[in-house]
Amino acid sequence: MNVSIKDVSFGENVTVVEPANLYGCTIGSNSFVGPFTEIQKGVLIGERCRIQSHSFICELVTIGHDCFIGHGVMFVNDLFSEGHPANGNKQLWKPTTIGNNVSIGSNATLLPVSICDNVVIGAGAVVTKNITKPGIYAGNPAKYLRAI
């Protein structure tokens, strides 16, 4: 297994528990990254975020400030829009944007979406559509449950 921390821009007081595979990303001040986590190039993570173990954050993901990403959260940028993986054709990939003060429960999966500020995503949820209203969301597909 080849794991490394390479070409990462760290803010102040960032903690990374190894082994972790981080490359070409930016992690804001006072953030935490747990072990067995992969954060790919171009990912932007804001300040005061907590990324728990075994999470995968792929290219084209931006995470705001004060966010919590639970254990085993998976971000997806390839929707297999042509019936198969993009096979390196990054023009087929789509971005994901997470607002500020967003908490994502363990084992959630996020397709390429935009999530507004002040949202809680329940554990195991599958987010398939943009979330534009603050509140709590859960299920597969994730649906609005109630205000926070």
Q: Which positions are annotated as active-site residues?
A: 84
Q: Could you tell me the two tokens for 15?
A: 């903690």
- Classify residue 131 by its DSSP letter: B
- Classify residue 143 by its DSSP letter: E
CA-angle at 117, arms to 78 and 148, nearest 5°: 115
The Cα–Cα gap between 142 and 132 comes to: 13
Question: String of b and e for 75-84 (b: at least 16 CB within 10 Å)?
Answer: bbbbeeeeee
The amino acid present at 29, given as its one-letter code, is S
How far is C-alpha 97 from the geometric centre of its chain's CA atoms?
9
The Cα–Cα gap between 43 and 58 comes to: 7
